[in-house]
Amino acid sequence: MKAARWAPLSGVVYVALWIAAFMVAGDEEKDSDSEILAWYGDSGNRNKEIVSIFLILAASLFFVWFVAVLRGRLARSEGGAGTHTAVAFGAGLVAAGLWMVAGVFFMAISFSAGDDDFVLDPNTYRVINNMGYVIWISGTAIAALLVFATALSSLKGQIVPKWIAWLSFVVGATMLVSVFFVPFLIWLGWMLVVSIVLIWKPAGSAATGATATG
């Protein structure tokens, strides 16, 4: 079996790495000044955040690979690199970049705290963390374009089953309000399902009837 058949597995790895990053970073409350200072005063906590950024970096690499695979499938479906292909590919690259930048903001305090001259102001943490969160949700919202483009192309072609295509519109709509955490988890679920479908369906099956008769 050709290695290209398993290329969409990169999407599954992407999901696994993001879940691992969440698990490593943890979700401990850091609301009050004392909680913030105590948390970053623990080198173990700081190391966990630094590890998580490398997991996010690895996830971003696999996501770019997946986006390239998806681009090929969409191009075959459109009979060439059309609008849906361009939108999905561009949105995927922009989202990957934003998620990576957000990760850097999230771990900036942990990285800086290792410097003996660094003195943490809790408000500095709040500003940097909020900036990272805004960048992160921006990446998720832009990734919705990838979902919509895939859905629209699938309604005409055979990239994913029609029921997944229609469900993708709901997924994309939730991602547009990604100020909440749940839409990102929904996005990861969508990625997992689509990746498995692309593995299951050979690349040649994505061609549309229009392409076949063109």
Task: Please state the pTM of the whole predicted model.
Answer: 0.85
Break the chain into its structural domains and give their ranges.
Answer: 56-205
Residue-level pLDDT at 213: 34
Instruction: Write a three-state SS string for the chain.
Output: CCHHHHCCHHHHHHHHHHHHHHHHHCCCCCCCHHHHHHHHCCHHHHHHHHHHHHHHHHHHHHHHHHHHHHHHHHHHHHCCCCHHHHHHHHHHHHHHHHHHHHHHHHHHHHHHCCCCCCCCCHHHHHHHHHHHHHHHHHHHHHHHHHHHHHHHHHHHCCCCCHHHHHHHHHHHHHHCCCCCCHHHHHHHHHHHHHHHHHHHCCHHHHCCHHHHHC
pLDDT in tens, the chain (214 residues): 566 778 899 999 999 999 999 999 877 778 889 989 998 888 888 899 999 999 999 999 999 999 999 998 888 877 777 889 999 999 999 999 999 999 999 999 988 887 878 888 999 999 999 999 999 999 999 999 999 999 999 888 778 889 999 999 999 999 998 888 899 999 999 999 999 999 887 665 544 443 433 3
Question: Do 6 and 65 touch, CB atoms closer than 8 A?
Answer: no
> What is the structure's pLDDT at 78?
73
In the prediction, which pLDDT does 202 show?
63
Cβ atoms < 10 Å from Cβ of 113: 19
